[in-house]
Structure 1
Amino acid sequence: MPPLATAPDPDRTPSRRARPRRYLMCRPTYFEVSYSINPWMDPAKPVDPELAVAQWEQLRRLYLDLGHQVDLIESLPGLPDMVYAANGATVIDGKVLGARFRNQERAAEGPAYQEWFRAHGYTDVLEPRHVNEGEGDFLVTGSWILAGTGFRSSPQGHAEAQEFFGRPLISLELVDPRYYHLDTALAVLDDDEVMYHPAAFSPGSRAVLERLFPTAVLADEADAEVFGLNAVSDGRHVVLPQAAVGLAEQLRGRGFEPIGVDLSELLKGGGSVKCCTLDVRDPR
């Protein structure tokens, strides 16, 4: 097992370096909340489609301004949650593990994302046998794949991912239905640095996280419930919901540059920054 993370020098703020990334996103052309498959979704609350698109466009432009590549997959009618591109697949070293959704309402998204990757030259694309919901539940650090279970992705899906990618995988159990995907409760900041909300995890999983990441940034309830951990980091800039002010302050103290954005309309579907962003990790 790789060595555990070491504590930072308290007298020196780390110098952070941004790394260019490639992201896949899906414009929320057909976004609406017409059913409920997580505690954040309430079909009785109206959604402003134009505002949802405007907020999403702000996020896309921000990535471009930061020097990242953004590819787009066409949104399909009848799939209002397709905007949450992170759920569509997991990509590591150019290998693509497709998604298999637990809920029938999202089932057609998996094949749509797999087809996009095949059409764009990816030859190692696996259609999974077991339930996994992409980067919603698979987050990649320098040493491990962190994998969430408890509400969506299955333990069998974890084993399938480890076998496909050939990387050590750490299963983590989520226990609060508000944080139904791992990317709502934990974010990778850089290499083996993470931030997470301890109360979202079972006692055993919290102990694992404490052992693997003893210097992690810990989010309190106030920052977690505004989806502050549904964030994207390029190693220096951390894009996160603007309401997560406590997390932003902690990140500044670690040498990161937090950038707050407003995705309040998309939060009505149970997603924010990370949910809208699939990290395409091509071979370096």
Structure 2
Amino acid sequence: MITTSPSEFLEAYAALAPLPDAAATARAAYLVAPAEFTLATESARDNRYMDMSLTVDPLKALAQHSALAQALRGDCPVITFPGNPATPDAVFPNNVFGTAPGRLIIGRMRHAVRQREAERTDIRNFFGDVLGYDEIDLSGCEDLVAELTGSLIIDRVRGVGYCGLSERCDLAGAHAMHQAFDLRLTFCFELAEFEYHTNVVLALLASRAAIIAADGFRDPAVPQAIAKAYGDRAIWLTPAQKQAYAGNAITLSDERVWMSACAVSSLTDEQIEALSGYGFAVGAVDLSEIEKAGGSLRCCVGEIY
């Protein structure tokens, strides 16, 4: 079922029992290292988190990315694929490659500079030849835009997707991802003007709590409905905290939420205490150089289910 109605979503959500044996977090993760890291002018056209006036230090970005991989290994196995100088800002692979058990999904990116990432045969072959995953390739579908888990936040325990519609994902893309990820319910909604991806305004924490930036949604009833679905176990972000990427968070275990050092420093003591009450310690990694490219920690992490 796909719905755009908050009330219809809540009614359908209440009828869903958790999936048997479904894992709340990924069994492993993968990253793509920065190579000759630069900012892409094309991506900046609809990513208002980017500031093209900033200069970047490629070696600092590489060092921060390596530290991220090492930190995340505390929660799950992590694989790092080498970067490609032909796609120097390609450090956010979760938009291009996604997984469900036994399946690799390849997204349809909006910009040509990101579409080139989908052509990587080493990543495709790793999932196909090494892990034996079936491939669902949306990258050649010219009648849709579907930037995977940048646009689609997934509750893996219930098979529920939260899809923000923007320049980076249209309704046709939402339908394609609903099928590709084999979801039972997808709640589609429009993001606020100037928002490009759902994963900067919403994070689900091991399918039991949420981080929400209410101003990132066009209809205020949408974030309220999402919070209600999780028993109001929600951390509500201010616009400044959203800008600091506090919504760009991920859980790779049941006990810890990861976000950038900038994001963590924006949180209040009360918010950190609330996360602790939900059962989550907070892990932080300095990604200040990578964040200049308009994404943060969650964007860097591809999940392997």
TM-score by length of 1: 0.86
Q: Mean Cα displacement is larger for which, 53-62 or 251-260?
A: 251-260
Matched residue SS, 1:96: strand
Distance 1:140 1:159, change over 3 A: same
Distance in 2 of aligned mates of 1:48 and 1:3: 48
* 1:235 lines up with 2:244 in the alignment: no
User: Which residue pairs with 2:235 in the alignment?
Assistant: 217
Over 4 Å off, 4+ runs: none
Write out aligned runs for 1:179-258 (5 A). Answer: 179-203=195-219, 204-215=221-232, 216-233=234-251, 234-242=253-261, 243-246=265-268, 247-258=271-282
**Native 8 Å contact 2:260 2:286 kept in 1:** yes
Matched residue SS, 1:76: coil
Q: Mean Cα displacement is larger for which, 219-228 or 198-207?
A: 198-207
User: In the alignment, residue 285 of structure 2 is paired with which amino acid?
Assistant: V
Distance in 1 of aligned mates of 2:146 and 2:240: 28
User: Which residue pairs with 2:60 in the alignment?
Assistant: 51
> Alpha-carbon deviation of 1:164?
2.6
Write out aligned runs for 1:7-18 (5 A). Answer: none
> Alpha-carbon deviation of 1:45?
1.2
Distance 1:57 1:124, change over 3 A: same
Matched residue SS, 1:172: strand
**Native 8 Å contact 1:88 1:278 kept in 2:** no
Distance in 2 of aligned mates of 1:229 and 1:176: 17
**Native 8 Å contact 1:4 1:213 kept in 2:** no
Distance in 2 of aligned mates of 1:110 and 1:86: 11
Structure 1: unaligned runs, 5 residues or longer: 6-17
Distance 1:120 1:154, change over 3 A: farther
User: Which residue pairs with 2:301 in the alignment?
Assistant: 277
Matched residue SS, 1:229: coil
User: Which residue pairs with 1:267 in the alignment?
Assistant: 291
**Native 8 Å contact 1:263 1:273 kept in 2:** yes
> Alpha-carbon deviation of 1:165?
2.9
Matched residue SS, 2:241: helix
Distance in 2 of aligned mates of 1:212 and 1:19: 19
> Alpha-carbon deviation of 1:59?
0.9
> Alpha-carbon deviation of 1:186?
0.8
> Alpha-carbon deviation of 1:71?
1.4
**Native 8 Å contact 2:148 2:177 kept in 1:** no
Distance in 2 of aligned mates of 1:20 and 1:127: 21
Structure 2: unaligned runs, 5 residues or longer: 1-11, 17-23
**Native 8 Å contact 2:96 2:109 kept in 1:** no
Write out aligned runs for 1:171-182 (5 A). Answer: 171-177=188-194, 179-182=195-198
TM-score by length of 2: 0.80
Distance in 2 of aligned mates of 1:4 and 1:193: 18
Matched residue SS, 1:258: strand
> Alpha-carbon deviation of 1:206?
2.8
Distance in 2 of aligned mates of 1:127 and 1:181: 20
User: In the alignment, residue 118 of structure 1 is paired with which amino acid?
Assistant: G
Matched residue SS, 1:107: helix
User: In the alignment, residue 200 of structure 2 is paired with which amino acid?
Assistant: T
- Partner of residue 3 from structure 1, selected from 2, 8, 14: 14
Matched residue SS, 2:79: strand
Distance in 1 of aligned mates of 2:53 and 2:145: 29
* 1:126 lines up with 2:150 in the alignment: no
> Alpha-carbon deviation of 1:202?
1.7
Distance in 2 of aligned mates of 1:210 and 1:256: 17
Distance in 1 of aligned mates of 2:154 and 2:40: 32
User: In the alignment, residue 146 of structure 1 is paired with which amino acid?
Assistant: Y
Could you list the per-position Cα deviations for residues 217-241 of structure 1 after superposition, in whole angstroms to 9, with x for gaps in the alignment?
2122222110011111122111112
Matched residue SS, 2:95: helix
User: In the alignment, residue 37 of structure 2 is paired with which amino acid?
Assistant: F
Q: Count how many residue pairs are aligned between Structure 1 and Structure 2.
A: 267
Matched residue SS, 1:202: coil
User: In the alignment, residue 245 of structure 1 is paired with which amino acid?
Assistant: L
**Native 8 Å contact 1:26 1:74 kept in 2:** yes
Distance 1:206 1:188, change over 3 A: closer
User: Which residue pairs with 1:93 in the alignment?
Assistant: 101
Distance in 1 of aligned mates of 2:169 and 2:125: 21
User: In the alignment, residue 87 of structure 1 is paired with which amino acid?
Assistant: N
Distance in 1 of aligned mates of 2:178 and 2:301: 22
> Alpha-carbon deviation of 1:34?
4.0
Distance 1:164 1:71, change over 3 A: same
> Alpha-carbon deviation of 1:180?
1.4
Matched residue SS, 1:33: coil
Distance 1:189 1:225, change over 3 A: same
